[in-house]
Amino acid sequence: MTVFERMQRIDRRVMYVLLVAVIALPMFVPFKLPTAITPEVRGVYDAVESIPKGKLAILSGDWGAGTLAESLPQTEALMRHLFRNNVPFAILPWAPQTTTLMQNTAERLAPEYGKVYGRDWVNWGWKAVPMVAFLKSMAKDIPGTVRQDYRGTPLSELPVMKGVKDIDDIGFVCHITPVGNIMLWVAFIQAVYGTPIAYAPTAVMVAQGYDPLDAKQLVGMLPGLVGGAQYETLLNDPRSGVRWSNSLSLAELLMIFLIVLANIGYFASRRAGGSGR
Amino acid sequence: MASFWGPHTDNPEKTLFILGALVTGALFIFALTFVPRRARKPLIAVVTFIGGLYFSLEFLIAPRSSAEPFLLSKGAFGKKVFELLYAGLDPDQNFLSPYMQGLTNAWQVIAGFTFALGLTNLVHIHGKNILQARKNWGFSVFFFIGVIVMAVIGFFQRFGAGQKSPVWQGLWRIATDGWLFSLDAAMFSLIAFFIISAAYRAFRIRSVEATIMMGAAFLVMLGQVPVGIWLTSWIQPEWGFLYNLRLENISQWILWKPNAAAQRGIEFGIAVGALAMGLRIWLSLERGSYFEKEV
Distance between A45 CA and the closest CA of chain B, angstroms: 18
What pLDDT is recorded for position B244? 93
What pLDDT is recorded for position B259? 95
Say whether both A116 and A203 belong to one domain. yes
Say whether both B169 and B228 belong to one domain. no
Tens-place pLDDT, residues A114-163: 999 999 999 999 988 889 889 988 998 999 899 999 988 999 999 999 99
Nearest to A129 among B111, B189, B227 (CB): B111
- What is the number of domains present in chain A? 2
Say whether both A15 and A135 belong to one domain. no
Distance between B96 CA and the closest CA of chain A, angstroms: 12
Q: With pLDDT > 90 as the criterion, what percentage of chain B qualifies?
A: 66
- Residues 14-73 (B) with a CB less than 8 A from some CB of A: 55, 58-59
Residue A90 belongs to some domain of the structure? yes
Among candidate residues B202, B218, B253, the one where a domain is terminated: B202
Residue B233 belongs to some domain of the structure? yes
The reply to whether residue A144 touches residue B264, judged by beta carbons under 8 angstroms, is no
Count of pairs with CB atoms under 8 A, one residue in A, one in B? 172
Nearest to A214 among B115, B200, B260 (CB): B260
Tens-place pLDDT, residues A42-101: 999 999 999 999 999 999 999 999 999 999 999 999 999 999 999 999 999 999 999 999
Residue B171 has pLDDT above 50, yes or no: yes
Say whether both A256 and A150 belong to one domain. no
Beta-strand ranges (E) seen in A62-147 are: 89-93, 121-123
User: Is residue A35 exposed (0-12), middle (13-18) or buried (19+ Cβ within 10 Å)?
Assistant: buried
Distance between B90 CA and the closest CA of chain A, angstroms: 9
Residue range B95-101: mean pLDDT, rounded = 89
Residue B146 belongs to some domain of the structure? yes
Say whether both A190 and A260 belong to one domain. no
Residue range B96-120: mean pLDDT, rounded = 85
Q: Which residues of A touch B101 (CB under 8 A)?
A: 137, 141, 144-145
- Specify the CATH number for the domain of residue A189: 3.40.50
Residue B261 belongs to some domain of the structure? yes
Which structural domain range is residue A13 located in?
3-30+247-271
Question: What is the three-class DSSP state of A61?
Answer: strand
What pLDDT is recorded for position B1? 44
Burial A229-243 (b: 16+ CB within 10 A, else e): bbbbbbbeeeebbbb
Residue A277 belongs to some domain of the structure? no
Distance between B115 CA and the closest CA of chain A, angstroms: 9
Which structural domain range is residue B179 located in?
135-202
- What is the number of domains present in chain B? 2
What pLDDT is recorded for position B110? 83
- Report the distance separating Cα A218 and Cα B130, nearest Å: 51
Q: Which amino acid is at B249?
A: N
Say whether both A91 and A199 belong to one domain. yes
Say whether both A80 and A9 belong to one domain. no
In terms of Cα–Cα distance, which of B168, B142, B152, B151 is closest to B116?
B151
CA atoms within 13 A on the CB side of A122: 26
The reply to whether residue A128 touches residue B200, judged by beta carbons under 8 angstroms, is no
Say whether both A122 and A15 belong to one domain. no
The reply to whether residue A15 touches residue B197, judged by beta carbons under 8 angstroms, is yes
Of A62, A131, A195, A249, which to mutate for an interface test with B (greatest number of B Cβ within 10 Å)? A249
Pick the residue from chain A with its C-alpha nearest to B188: A66
Whether residue B224 lies within 8 A of chain A, CB to CB, comes out as yes
Nearest to A210 among B90, B228, B259 (CB): B259
Residue B172 belongs to some domain of the structure? yes
Say whether both A162 and A99 belong to one domain. yes
| Cα-based torsion angle of the residue sequence B207, B213, B219, B223 in order, rounded to the nearest 10 degrees | -160
Whether residue B232 lies within 8 A of chain A, CB to CB, comes out as no
Say whether both B214 and B195 belong to one domain. no
What pLDDT is recorded for position B292? 66
Residue B29 belongs to some domain of the structure? no
Distance between B18 CA and the closest CA of chain A, angstroms: 15
Residue A276 belongs to some domain of the structure? no
Pick the residue from chain B with its C-alpha nearest to A204: B221
Distance between B255 CA and the closest CA of chain A, angstroms: 7
